[in-house]
Amino acid sequence: MKTLVLANQKGGVGKSAVATQFALYQRRQGLTVLVIDLDHQQNTSRPLRLNETVEVVEFTASDVFEAQRPPPLPDGALVLVGGDDRLSSLERRPSEHNAFANRFLASLKAWSRFDVCIIDTNPNPDIRYAAALIAGTHVLAPIQLNQEAIEGVTALLGHNRYGIGLIQSTLNPELRFLGILPNLVEPTPFQRGNFQALAKNYGSLLLSQRSERGNTFGLIQKRTAIAEAQAAGLFVADLPKTSARDAWREIRPVFDMVLEGMDLAVAGRVSA
């Protein structure tokens, strides 16, 4: 099972929309998908609970850290382990942190029948965030194109406890960083300037795809159709609006970059 962790140490960057829409896309591609929401704000859980194709388990994400044995999952092809309010209290129990991480890893191993697991993390680095990185196979970092988010890339990679580089070197050498994904992008001079600064300082870390014409960088524009799809619990390509079809045509190549980066074979394409 490939495990994609969506990570950023700053909130409000649209991680949950990426997690939700990518999960629904992968299922349309014929993959079996497990989604785990480790954020107590539950912004990934809410839209997926509204979607009739998603099977929601009775236990929640905090139970995964606390259960002595991995809880059993149903046989569904798209399964959600939802977030809950208790997740934020785990960091205040430092004597149990090792046990939490070990239980989380054991559960993912027990649930390996899925093709892919998507983990949405909380923005503040803590034991939940660390456990996801320890158990993950790949990391994707959505960011917004503002100076604060760009400066946060250093913390994302080099945090003295939970930086991706430290996790790779000490606890999970198989973890692969897929790249930084600019999200909620608007066509303004300010954002264009910030993207140029990001490409200059962290160009090698941007999600990209090589071709004969050079590198193509992945980015997701800010579209009202994405927010509407999230509110309705729908895959954006299913929203009955021309704007949604246009948004999906922009998003699909980015998601395909991620699939390629994860070495995931797919059954076909979703038309728009």
| Structural domain contains residue 29 | yes
**Helices 224-232, 242-261: crossing angle, 10 deg rounding:** 80
| Structural domain contains residue 167 | yes
Nearest to 60, CA basis, from 41, 26, 87, 78: 87
Can you give the pLDDT at residue 269? Answer: 45
Can you give the pLDDT at residue 270? Answer: 45
Mean pLDDT of the region 33-43: 97
| pLDDT at residue 55 greater than cutoff 60 | yes
58 vs 155, more confident: 58
CATH code, 104: 3.40.50.300
Can you give the pLDDT at residue 156? Answer: 82
Can you give the pLDDT at residue 214? Answer: 63
Can you give the pLDDT at residue 233? Answer: 97
Provide the pLDDT confidence category of residue 271 given band limits of 50, 70 and 90: very low
Provide the pLDDT confidence category of residue 10 given band limits of 50, 70 and 90: confident
Bridge partner residues of 69 (DSSP): none
Q: Environment class of residue 266 by beta-carbon count within 10 Å: exposed (0-12), middle (13-18) or buried (19+)?
A: middle
Neighbours of 9 (CB within 10 A): 21
Can you give the pLDDT at residue 198? Answer: 84
| Structural domain contains residue 269 | no
Instruction: Name the residue with tokens 């697991």.
Output: 117
Nearest to 254, CA basis, from 181, 200, 146: 181
| Structural domain contains residue 38 | yes
| Structural domain contains residue 63 | yes
> Which domain range does residue 120 map to?
2-261
Instruction: Name the residue with tokens 């973890």.
Output: 175
Instruction: Name the residue with tokens 């895959």.
Output: 235
| pLDDT at residue 38 greater than cutoff 70 | yes
| Structural domain contains residue 246 | yes
| Structural domain contains residue 272 | no
What single letter denotes the amino acid at residue 132?
A
Share of the chain above pLDDT 90, in %: 72
Q: Are 252 and 271 spatial neighbours (Cβ–Cβ below 8 Å)?
A: no
| Structural domain contains residue 117 | yes
Mean pLDDT of the region 164-173: 93
Share of the chain above pLDDT 70, in %: 94
What single letter denotes the amino acid at residue 136?
G
> How far is residue 26 from each of residues 76, 77, 98, measured CA to CA in Å?
14, 10, 32
Count of structural domains within the chain: 1
Can you give the pLDDT at residue 8? Answer: 85
Lowest-pLDDT choice from 163-172, 213-222, 251-260: 213-222
Distance CA 132, CA 5 (A): 7
